Amino acid sequence: MRLHQLRQIAWIGAAVVLLLGQPARADEPDFIAFSAGAFDIGKDQTAAEGRLEYRSDIRLWIFKPFAGVMGTSDGGAYGYAGVLVDVFFGKRMVTTLSFAPGAYAKGDGKDLGHDLEFRSQLEVAYRFDDRSRLGLSLSHMSNASIGDKNPGTESLMLTYALPVRKIFGN
């Protein structure tokens, strides 16, 4: 399966999630999310990727703000802030759609064509009794053709999101 087909499937999945799921619950906590996986999957420059995110519990209509940092094993870095939407399927399954612009530095890794990059992501997670989540995500990062070139990249990540109160107390 080609990457453009994966992107199409992800966008169709996102539309289905928004149409069939329940909106975010008002009592959801804020999270610190830890992620590990592969950057530039299916390409010549695949690298390990790690992320750290803060996902706020503040709701702005259906959106919640979040911010994070990402680093790759070949020295790439990305700092970003954006919005996300949690969509629930019953008590346990949560799908999170997110979008964030940010600043990208390639290090010794992939040149994405510009310092400003945009990341869109679809994450499907299992929600535990303590509200922590374990999920798998597929994201796409590109510069939306504002640069001379726009190769884009995809990442596949495993994420554990822990309520902030579990780390720092109430």
Look at 133 and 27; give whichever has higher pLDDT.
133
Point out which residues pair with 135 in neighbouring strands. 125, 159
* Confidence (pLDDT) at 167: 84
pLDDT class of 163 with cuts at 50, 70, 90: very high
* Domains of the chain: total: 1
Its pTM stands at 0.84
Point out which residues pair with 101 in neighbouring strands. 118
* Confidence (pLDDT) at 43: 80
**Average pLDDT over the chain, rounded to an integer:** 88
* Confidence (pLDDT) at 6: 55
Q: Which CATH number belongs to the domain containing residue 125 in this structure?
A: 2.40.160.20
Please check the confidence at residue 25 and state whether its pLDDT lies above 60.
no
Among 123, 99, 122, 117, residue whose Cα is nearest residue 153: 117
Please check the confidence at residue 41 and state whether its pLDDT lies above 70.
yes
Over the stretch 79-106, which tens digit does the pLDDT of each residue have? 999 999 999 999 999 999 999 999 999 9
* Confidence (pLDDT) at 169: 75
Tell me the DSSP string of 23-55.
PPPTT---EEEEEEEEESTTSTT-EEEEEEEEE
Name the strand (E) or helix (H) holding 18: helix 3-20
* Confidence (pLDDT) at 45: 79
DSSP label at residue 68:
E
Question: Could you list the residue range(s) of the whole structural domain that residue 144 is in?
Answer: 3-168
Q: Which of 14-23, 55-64, 128-137 has the lowest mean pLDDT?
A: 14-23
Over the stretch 101-152, which tens digit does the pLDDT of each residue have? 999 999 999 999 999 999 999 999 999 999 999 999 999 999 999 988 899 9
* Confidence (pLDDT) at 132: 96
Quote the percentage of the chain above a pLDDT of 90. Answer: 72
